[in-house]
Amino acid sequence: MTIKVKKRNFLKKKKIKEIKTELGEYGDLLQGKKKVEILEAEPNSFILVDGEPYIIIIDGKAFPTLKAILNTDVESKTVTVDMGAIRFVSNGADIMSPGIVDASEGVEVGDIVLIIDETHGKPLAIGVSLISGEEMVENDSGKAVETKHYVGDEIWNFEL
């Protein structure tokens, strides 16, 4: 799938504030006096910070990109998967409870979570939790996280 750029505009402070609120703990990605632009594209639009795609808009909701998380020191809620799950996660699969070995304290339904591997703690994907962190670790069946963006997808490979 290719990303088709429609237009690119600077964001007003009011809109930046709205997006920061929506991002919650990831709002710090828009902190400071940086150039913040919106890149309207198909199928998903991006928020650019100093020309880098830091936030993607999927189905009208803002999500941080993995590159943004790797380039900043933002604290995030994490879900740790075992090494057997990495192949599936890096192909875009949703995260199933049996592959989860740990989850940050306080992960609730609907939270944006960072999926990391067990051995190196490297980010693999970003998704939305479907169950609480405790349930993710305890359950031995069922879907736990809906994947929105993963290493190697068209968002990861997107460059201006």
Residue 99 confidence (pLDDT)? 93
Q: Could you tell me the two tokens for 21?
A: 């609120």
Residue 30 confidence (pLDDT)? 83
Cα 79 to chain centroid distance, Å, stands at: 12
Cα 63 to chain centroid distance, Å, stands at: 5
**Measured between alpha carbons, how far is 148 from 65 in angstroms, rounded to an integer?**
10
Domains and CATH numbers, the chain: 4-71 (3.10.450.120), 78-150 (2.30.130.10)
Residue 33 confidence (pLDDT)? 62
| SS3 state at 39 | strand
Q: What is the pLDDT along the chain (160 residues), one digit of tens a residue?
A: 567 778 999 988 898 888 888 888 888 888 776 789 999 888 888 999 888 889 999 888 889 999 888 888 878 899 999 999 999 999 999 999 999 999 999 999 999 999 999 999 899 999 999 999 999 999 989 999 999 999 988 888 887 7
Name which of 71, 5, 2, 3 is nearest 34 in CA terms.
Answer: 71
Q: Could you tell me the two tokens for 111?
A: 């939270």
**Measured between alpha carbons, how far is 146 from 80 in angstroms, rounded to an integer?**
14
3-state SS of 55-92 is EEEECCEEEECHHHHHHCCCCCCEEEECHHHHHHHCCC
Count of helices and strands (H, E) across the chain: 4, 11
Residue 84 confidence (pLDDT)? 92
For residue 4, CA distances in Å to 7, 55, 58, 94, 104 come to: 10, 17, 15, 26, 36
